[in-house]
């Protein structure tokens, strides 16, 4: 287990990273949950900003610019202690991409979304074995609450590529 001071530094870095998010954000969320590599869990936290929506032609599909800063705690998995890509380091990531919604503004399914982002990370691990990653999220976003299933992976472009899969709950507000 990691000392409380390293977790505190990570939380502080994530909090201070929110200051870098643009002031024009339409919706800001703080998300937390549990991330898994294989069956080994770790805590995860994100701050995400979603901007104004843009229609895709005359369709009911729209997209919004989406940026996030995240933290996935490390875990101690004995069999990977001496591997080239370990599991102990915590990983910070910065990501940017688009969030997609479909439907009329009052449709029951309108709060459902899919987002895709490209990310950079600070440490490579058994789960995230390159400094570039793809982030895919499927979720539901209400006015103040959201639920997401998120997967972070390099798409098999390098290393073991186990990926991180997480369930997150978010609390947000409009700016």
**CA 66, CA 95: separation in Å to the nearest integer?**
8
Q: Which residue has the tokens 């954000």?
A: 25
Would you give the DSSP letter of residue 103?
S
Structural domain containing residue 158: 4-21+29-174
Q: Which residue has the tokens 């890509």?
A: 85
Q: How many domains does the chain have?
A: 1
**Count of residues in the chain:** 175
The pLDDT tens digits for 54-83 are: 999 999 999 999 999 999 998 888 877 777
pTM for the structure as a whole? 0.82
Helix ranges (H only) for the chain are 4-17
Give, rounded to a whole angstrom, the gap between the first and last alpha carbons of the chain: 37
Residue 54 β-bridge partners: 63
Please compute the mean of the pLDDT values over residues 73-94 and round it to a whole number.
83
The pLDDT tens digits for 118-149 are: 999 998 888 888 999 999 999 999 999 999 99
**CATH code: domain of residue 61:** 2.40.160.20
């Amino acid at each position: 287990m990691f000392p409380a001071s390293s977790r505190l530094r990570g939380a502080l870095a994530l909090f201070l990273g929110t200051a870098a998010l643009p002031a024009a954000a339409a919706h800001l969320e703080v998300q937390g949950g549990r991330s898994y590599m294989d069956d080994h869990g770790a805590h995860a936290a994100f701050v995400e900003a979603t901007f104004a929506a843009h229609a895709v032609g005359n369709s009911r599909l729209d997209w919004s610019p989406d940026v996030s800063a995240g933290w996935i705690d490390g875990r101690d998995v004995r069999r990977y202690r001496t591997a080239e890509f370990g599991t102990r380091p915590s990983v910070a990531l910065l990501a940017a991409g688009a969030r997609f919604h479909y439907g009329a503004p009052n449709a029951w399914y309108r709060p459902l979304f899919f987002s895709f982002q490209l990310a950079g990370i600070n440490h490579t691990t058994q789960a995230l074995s390159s400094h570039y990653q793809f982030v895919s999220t499927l979720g539901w976003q209400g006015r103040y609450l959201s639920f997401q299933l998120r997967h972070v992976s390099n798409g098999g472009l390098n290393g073991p590529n186990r990926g991180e899969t997480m369930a997150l709950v978010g609390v947000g507000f409009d700016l």
